[in-house]
Amino acid sequence: MSTESLELAKTQYQAGKQAFERGNYRQSVELLEKAIGLANPNSQLGGEMQTWLVTAYQAAGRGSEAIALCEQLGKHPDLKTRQQGNRLLYILKAPQLKTRPEWLTQIPDLTSLNDAQGNPLSRKYQSAAPRPPKPKPQPEPIDWSQVNTKDNRFVWVALAAIALMAGLLVWLSQ
């Protein structure tokens, strides 16, 4: 296999993974199939590509092809690929859970509605021009004659405590 085809396979593989992650499953299947055709399917990279292809098949609604590819991956020469293929096969062959309609929530499609249509009440309560902000009330000026400015000796006690601690630290550091 030439390096050009290997690089092209890697490019297709990355594009297929990105398409899968964006939800474009059909495009992902096409890109991953092209990548596997360009790469050696029995290599570790080929096994990774096939594993991604299994998930893309399942997401695209092609479950039977996903199961068939998983069975092939169970015989792959790479141990990790074999293990992953067997795990995926176990998951894909598991019975599907049945859901009751009351467990599901129906979300209405609102794309056809435009803002002017729809609920007539919405037109009635449309917002008007923004109101100007209310002016903030000015605080009353402070009357200094009523403020208690008498010395309560707290400042002197705090300064004495600080001086005592500083003296103690100087004495202990000697």
Q: Give the pLDDT confidence score for residue 86 in this predicted structure.
A: 93
Q: How far is Cα 122 from Cα 60, in angstroms, rounded to an integer?
A: 40
Q: Give the pLDDT confidence score for residue 172 in this predicted structure.
A: 93
Closest CA to 19 of 30, 34, 8, 3: 30
Kindly give the confidence (pLDDT) of every residue in the chain, 174 residues in length, as a single tens digit, with 9 standing for 90 and above. Answer: 678 888 999 999 999 999 999 999 999 999 999 999 999 889 999 999 999 999 999 999 999 999 999 999 999 999 999 999 999 999 999 988 888 888 888 888 877 766 555 565 555 666 667 788 888 888 888 887 787 777 778 888 999 999 999 999 999 998
Give all domains of the chain, ordered by start, each with its CATH number: 3-92 (1.25.40.10)
Residue type at 49 in one-letter notation: M
Q: Are 66 and 94 in contact (CB under 8 A)?
A: no
| 15-21 LR contacts (CB < 8 Å, sep 24+) | 16/49, 16/52, 16/53, 16/56, 17/52, 20/52, 20/55, 20/56, 20/59
Enter the pTM of the model: 0.57
Q: Give the pLDDT confidence score for residue 101 in this predicted structure.
A: 84
| Distances 162 to 21, 152, 156, 157, 169 between C-alpha atoms, Å | 65, 18, 10, 9, 11
Q: Could you tell me the two tokens for 152?
A: 């309560």
Q: Could you tell me the two tokens for 33?
A: 């199939």
Q: Give the pLDDT confidence score for residue 134 in this predicted structure.
A: 86
Q: Give the pLDDT confidence score for residue 96 in this predicted structure.
A: 82
